[in-house]
Amino acid sequence: MAVVHLIRHGQASFGAAEYDELSDLGREQSRTVGLALAENQIRIDRAVSGALRRQRDTAELCLKAAGLPGDFTIDDRFDEYDHLGLAQQVQAGPVPTSSREFQTVLDAALEQWISGALAPPGTPPWEEFGARVWAGLEDVLAGLGKGGSGAVFTSGGVITAICARLLGLAPAGCVALHRVVINGGITKVVSGRGGIALISFNDHAHLPAAQVTYR
C-alpha cells in the first residue's frame, strides 16, 4: 500500500496584516512535527506542499528538523480556500478578530458553502474544491507506487475535504470535522486494492499541550 501523511501547517498569523505567515509558535510546531517523524522513523519518499507561504514554510522547517532532504514539490491543488473571504460573506461589518467569534462566523459560512446555499464570487463550489483536492491526492498516491510513503503539507479545509469524501459526511459533519483540525496534526490515508482509506485523523500526540492550537 502507498501511504500519505497529510500534515496541517503550523499556526499562521491570525489577526495580523499578513495572515499567510507562520507565527513563532507555528514555526515551533513545524519543527516538532519533523522531530516526531524522525523519532517514529516515518519514511518520506516524496514531499508535496500547497503553494501558500504557511504551507511551504511548514514543509521546509519540518523536513529540516526531521533530517530529511529539503526538496518538495509545489502543487496548488492543496491550497486552502479563502476562509477570510468566505467568512465575510455572512458577516455584517468587519470579520471578528477574536478567534472564538471568528470560528462561529466561519462555521456558519462553511455550512452554507458546503450545502450550496452560498456561492461567494471567486470561490469555487465546495464540490469543485473537493474534486481538485482529491485529484491531487490521487496523483501523489499514484506517484508513490506500491509501498511508497509521502507527506503533503496543506491546510484544514483540504484535510476536511478528503476525510469528508472518505467518510461520506453531510455539511454539518464537515463543519464539525473542520473545526477540530489541529495545527501540526497528521492525518494518514492509504491506497490499496480496496481504494483509498482513512487510517487516522488529526494525530497530535507529538505536540506538547502548549503547542496545541486550532487557529
Q: What is the DSSP string of 81-123?
A: P-HHHHHHTT-SSSPPSSHHHHHHHHHHHHHHHHHTS---TT-
Q: Write the DSSP symbol of residue 20.
A: S
pLDDT of residue 72: 97
pLDDT of residue 173: 94
Q: How far is CA 89 from the centre of its chain?
A: 22
In degrees, rounded to 5, the angle at the alpha carbon of residue 17 between the alpha carbons of residues 14 and 20 is: 55
Q: Is beta strand 149-154 parallel, antiparallel or unpaired with respect to 2-8?
A: parallel
pLDDT of residue 115: 92
- Give the residue-averaged pLDDT of 189-207: 96
Q: How far apart are CA 39 and CA 123, in angstroms?
A: 40
pLDDT of residue 15: 73
pLDDT of residue 9: 98
In degrees, rounded to 5, the angle at the alpha carbon of residue 105 between the alpha carbons of residues 102 and 110 is: 120
Q: How far apart are CA 23 and CA 183, in angstroms?
A: 11
Does residue 92 surpass a pLDDT of 80?
no
pTM of the predicted protein model: 0.95
CATH number (3.40.50.2300, 3.40.50.1240, 3.30.980.10, 3.40.50.720) of 2-80+144-156+179-211 reads 3.40.50.1240
Q: Are 201 and 189 in contact (CB under 8 A)?
A: no
